[in-house]
């Protein structure tokens, strides 16, 4: 155990050297841009209940939440119009960093935490790609849910409680104060590669497979592709709130049609930009006025952590309860404040393109196909025929003039009209297509036909371009853009796609909202002094995090005595340099001050008073003045737990073991 603590400290120093500079592009700007503003403020969690709209999972759960977990996942797949796991990506994490990380102790590999993310699009009415995440821990009978709320332009945090065989699942909105302590980006978070906590780690998979070949319908041996997909999804999800805020606060009624036009062109043209100079001028000016110091982009990434590297020699640890296995060093803890990923600045020549790319990512593939069909139905549009000389060789052609065209039968390696970036696509049976859509120029116009002809004067290529984007541009410019988040329904209305999607609207209304927050409850002595600093997370009816401030006077007194060693250590961590901390201090350091990035280095003066109070309790109990380094010499997890083990599970009955499938 001494080795684990020392290794944690060494790793803390190492991670602090490689992780803080991870802001990458933001390093220069953070130094040059005074007081950038957070795109989403880690210190402002927002109301627990949605200010408007409902979460995506509310619609999923409108007609019930089936048990076991595999049945719920299959239900989601059906509602999304997916099959064969095309939209859903699961991973298993037996030794993770969630609040429930000790719930399965000591049987971590018998009860892994199951993470499910929607990483693909389906044909159903719900848009859930990158917007729906589930985390199931069987030992607590709880599913934690993160899903997007379009109307409020934010992710909602919920929990399904009493989720067990014979139980009555209850869906509630979670205490966002607790959630935002780790989810500082107000969105999903996930580890960086190599994702060693997951079953992508061969050693983790081997330990899991010694118990079962699959859990909750999730095979143990999957490789690195699933966590990679989840990681990519959380990275994309991280930008949704950023783009929505920029849309609402830095893109006015003149900017919005220009931005939407550019985003549609970008998608239709295969990820190429047309001329965005007009947008750049208007947008950069508004952005600079709103955020003169720049906009700080939150970081959804946690440093990779191999739990088995820290648990070497800890197979038989504290009373056989697996404490050392669940140890999370401060440098790896999601509670640690994370600096911005980067800072977007008005002077960045790519700023408008970043915004357009983000807007384009909000448009579902299904809607792009509907738009493609809408454009194909336009009549009376102008056609232009462009010609260029060609060189033919071995079945290939290379044509250069007013356009560039290189290719062979059925495949165009590169086509570019004028100086636009080149595009590659299929050309078969007289039709140019890319990723199932008709191929288009960078300006969004249809590449209708390509012919390469040879006569006595040589070879020539003729490209017919249908200028069908003009009617769409006009419609976007004339649309009455409201001062509201950019939702799917709003965009479909702007693009005249409403009639094509009537059958795709969700039919069931979600169940009434319920909140799962109780921080307004009174706290009896001796816990009164702790309410302000600790009450937002520890004054609840739930066991994770430990609810040592809940209950009557006797219960609170017992809980504080039980938890005193851990409270003392966490409060004492403020006195230790960040790189040498074994655990994150409590309350966790803030990452924001006045809505700007700021890494808190010293606590509020009241924390020292709380530490003194807890030290007095420990001195009365042991007859000695507590020494924090001595207390963690054998590992933080060796300290007695904050809650007696008998009260850890949410339901007094033993959890019912799920099978590997629906009928298990």
The pLDDT > 90 percentage for the chain reads 80
* Per-residue pLDDT tens digits for 578-630: 999 999 999 999 999 999 999 999 999 999 999 999 999 999 999 999 999 99
pLDDT score, position 53: 94
**Is residue 510 very low, low, confident or very high in pLDDT (cuts 50, 70, 90)?**
confident
Is the predicted pLDDT of residue 569 greater than 60, yes or no? Answer: yes
pLDDT score, position 378: 82
- Tokens 């790896």 map to which residue? 332
Tally of residues, the chain: 664
C-alpha separations of 642 from 29, 101, 445, 505 in Å = 43, 14, 65, 47
pLDDT score, position 542: 84
**Which tokens in the block code for residue 322?**
């697996």
Is the predicted pLDDT of residue 22 greater than 70, yes or no? Answer: no
Furthest-apart CA atoms within the chain: distance in Å: 106
Is the predicted pLDDT of residue 653 greater than 60, yes or no? Answer: no
* Per-residue pLDDT tens digits for 74-92: 999 999 999 888 999 999 9
Question: Parallel, antiparallel, or unpaired for β 132-137 and 113-118?
Answer: antiparallel
Is the predicted pLDDT of residue 312 greater than 70, yes or no? Answer: no
* Per-residue pLDDT tens digits for 405-456: 999 999 999 999 999 999 999 999 989 999 999 999 999 999 999 999 998 8
> Among 352-361, 519-528, 625-634, which stretch is predicted with the lowest mean pLDDT?
519-528
pLDDT score, position 652: 37
* Per-residue pLDDT tens digits for 318-355: 344 555 678 999 999 999 999 999 999 999 999 999 99
Number of other residues whose CB lies within 10 A of the CB of residue 392: 13
pLDDT score, position 506: 55
Is the predicted pLDDT of residue 17 greater than 60, yes or no? Answer: no
pLDDT score, position 416: 97
pLDDT score, position 521: 72
The pLDDT > 70 percentage for the chain reads 88
User: String of b and e for 631-652 (b: at least 16 CB within 10 Å)?
Assistant: bbebbbbbbebbbeeeebbbbe
pLDDT score, position 353: 98
Beta bridge partners of 156: 147
pLDDT score, position 476: 97
Beta bridge partners of 342: 297
Integer Cα distance of 594 and 600 in angstroms: 12
| Residues 90, 114 contacting (CB under 8 angstroms) | yes
Peptide bond into 500 cis (omega under 30): no
* Per-residue pLDDT tens digits for 536-554: 899 988 888 999 999 999 9
Number of other residues whose CB lies within 10 A of the CB of residue 422: 17
Helix (H) or strand (E) holding 279: helix 277-290
- Tokens 């994702």 map to which residue? 195
How high is the mean pLDDT of the chain? 89
| Residues 219, 334 contacting (CB under 8 angstroms) | no
* Per-residue pLDDT tens digits for 397-414: 999 999 999 999 999 999
Q: Which pTM was predicted?
A: 0.90
């Amino acid at each position: 155990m001494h080795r684990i603590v020392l290794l944690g400290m060494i790793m803390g120093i190492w991670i602090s050297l490689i992780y803080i500079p991870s802001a990458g592009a933001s390093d220069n700007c953070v130094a040059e841009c005074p007081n950038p503003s957070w795109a989403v403020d880690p210190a402002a969690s927002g109301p627990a209940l949605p200010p408007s709209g409902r979460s995506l999972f509310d619609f999923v759960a409108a007609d019930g939440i089936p048990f076991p977990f595999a049945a719920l996942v299959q239900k989601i797949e059906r509602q999304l119009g997916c099959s064969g796991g095309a939209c859903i990506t699961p991973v298993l994490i037996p030794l993770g960093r969630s609040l429930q990380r000790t719930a399965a102790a000591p049987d971590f590999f018998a009860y892994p935490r199951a993470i499910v993310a929607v990483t693909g699009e389906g044909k159903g009415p719900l848009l859930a790609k990158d917007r729906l995440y589930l985390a199931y821990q069987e030992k607590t009978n709880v599913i934690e849910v993160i899903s997007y709320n379009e109307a409020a332009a934010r992710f909602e945090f919920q929990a399904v409680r009493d989720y067990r065989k014979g139980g009555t699942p209850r869906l509630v909105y979670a205490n966002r104060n607790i959630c935002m302590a780790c989810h500082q980006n107000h969105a999903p978070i996930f580890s960086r590669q190599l994702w060693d906590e997951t079953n992508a780690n061969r050693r983790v998979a081997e330990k899991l497979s010694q118990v079962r070949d699959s859990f909750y319908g999730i095979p143990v041996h999957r490789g690195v592709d699933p966590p990679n997909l989840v990681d990519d999804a959380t990275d994309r999800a991280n930008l949704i709130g950023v783009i929505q805020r920029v849309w609402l606060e830095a893109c006015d009624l003149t900017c919005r049609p220009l931005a939407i036009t550019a985003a549609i062109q970008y998608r239709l043209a295969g990820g190429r930009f047309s001329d965005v100079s007009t947008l750049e001028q208007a947008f950069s000016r508004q952005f600079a006025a709103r955020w003169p110091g720049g906009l700080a982009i939150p970081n959804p990434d946690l440093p990779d952590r191999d739990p088995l590297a820290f648990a070497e020699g800890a197979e038989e640890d504290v009373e056989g309860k697996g404490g050392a296995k669940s140890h999370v060093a401060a440098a790896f803890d999601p509670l640690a404040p994370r600096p911005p990923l980067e800072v977007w600045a008005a002077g960045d020549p790519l700023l408008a393109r970043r915004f357009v790319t983000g807007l384009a990512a909000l448009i579902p593939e299904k809607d792009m196909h509907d738009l493609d069909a809408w454009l194909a139905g336009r009549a009376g549009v102008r056609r232009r025929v462009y010609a260029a000389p060609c060189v033919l060789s071995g079945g290939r052609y290379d044509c250069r003039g007013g356009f560039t065209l290189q290719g062979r039968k059925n495949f165009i390696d590169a086509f570019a009209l004028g100086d636009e970036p080149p595009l590659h696509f299929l050309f078969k049976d007289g039709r140019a297509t890319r990723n199932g859509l008709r191929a288009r120029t960078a300006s969004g116009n249809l590449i209708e036909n390509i012919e390469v002809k040879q006569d006595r004067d040589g070879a020539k290529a003729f490209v017919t371009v249908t200028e069908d984007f003009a009617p769409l541009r006009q419609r976007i410019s004339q649309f009455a853009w409201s001062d509201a988040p950019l939702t799917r329904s709003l965009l479909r209305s702007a693009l005249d796609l409403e009639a094509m999607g009537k059958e795709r609207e969700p039919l069931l209304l979600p169940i009434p909202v319920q909140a799962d927050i109780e921080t307004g409850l009174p706290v009896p002595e001796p816990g009164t002094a702790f309410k302000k600093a600790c009450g937002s997370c520890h004054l609840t009816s739930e066991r994770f995090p430990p609810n040592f401030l809940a209950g009557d006077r006797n219960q609170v007194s017992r809980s504080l005595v039980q938890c005193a060693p851990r409270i003392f250590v966490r409060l004492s961590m403020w006195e230790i340099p960040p790189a040498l901390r074994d655990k994150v201090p409590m309350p966790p350091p803030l990452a924001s001050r006045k809505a700007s990035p700021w890494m808190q280095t010293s606590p509020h003066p009241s924390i020292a008073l709380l530490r003194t109070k807890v030290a007095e309790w420990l001195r009365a109990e042991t007859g000695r003045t507590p020494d924090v380094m001595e207390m963690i010499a054998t590992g933080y997890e060796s300290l007695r737990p904050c809650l007696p083990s008998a009260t850890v599970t949410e339901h007094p009955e033993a959890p019912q073991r799920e099978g590997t499938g629906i009928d298990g």
